[in-house]
Structure 1
Amino acid sequence: MTNLKTQRSVPADVDGGLDALLGDCARMAPHWAAPDRITPVPVSPSLIHGVRVPPASARLLAAMEDYGD
C-alpha cells in the first residue's frame, strides 16, 4: 500500500514571486548532485540531418503571437 500523505514544511505558493522561487531552489538543491565534468561527444556531420517538427507543433507555434510572424 502506498502512503500518499506528504509533509510540507512550506505551503505551496504559486504566485510567490522570485523570493519564493529562490527559496524553493535552495531547499531542492541538496537533492540533486551535479557531475564533476561533462565531456561532450563529437557527432559526425553526416549524422545531422536537420530538425523535424510535427505538423501539429508547427501549427501551434504559428498560432502563437511571439512565434507566428
Structure 2
Amino acid sequence: MTNFQPVLHVPADLDGDLASLRGDCARMVPHWAAPDRVAARPVSPSLIHGVTVPPASARLLDAMSEYGD
C-alpha cells in the first residue's frame, strides 16, 4: 500500500495589493481559452419588455448619474 502525502498549498493572501493580483491573473492566463470576439448587435427597444426596477433601486441609480456627471 502506498502512503499518499497530500501537497499542502500556502493560503492565498486575501489582502494583497494590485501587483500580486495582476501576477495571479498572469499565471492563470495559460489555463483559459478566450472565445473568438463576436460583435454585439444593437437590440431594438421594442424587443425589451418585462423589465421592472424596484423604486429603491431606481432612486439609487438616479442619484448615481449626479455623482458621475
| TM-score (structure 2 length as normaliser) | 0.51
Aligned residues: 58
Amino acid of the structure 2 residue aligned with 1:38: V
Unaligned segments of structure 2, at least 5 residues: 1-5
2 CA distance for matches of 1:44 and 1:6? 54
Instruction: Using CA pairs under 8 Å that are at least 6 residues apart, name the structure with larger relative contact order, 1 or 2.
Output: 1
Query: Secondary structure of 1:40's match?
Result: coil
Q: CA RMSD in A?
A: 3.6
Shift of the 28–6 alpha-carbon distance from structure 1 to 2, 3 Å rule, reads: farther
Q: Which has the larger radius of gyration?
A: 2
Structure 1: state its 5+ residue gaps. Answer: none
Identity %: 60
Q: Any idea what the Cα deviations from partners look like across 1:32-63, whole Å, max 9, x if unmatched? A: 211222122342221124852246x729x85x
Distance 2:54 2:8 in 1: 41
Question: When the two structures are superposed, what TM-score results if normalisation uses the length of structure 1?
Answer: 0.51
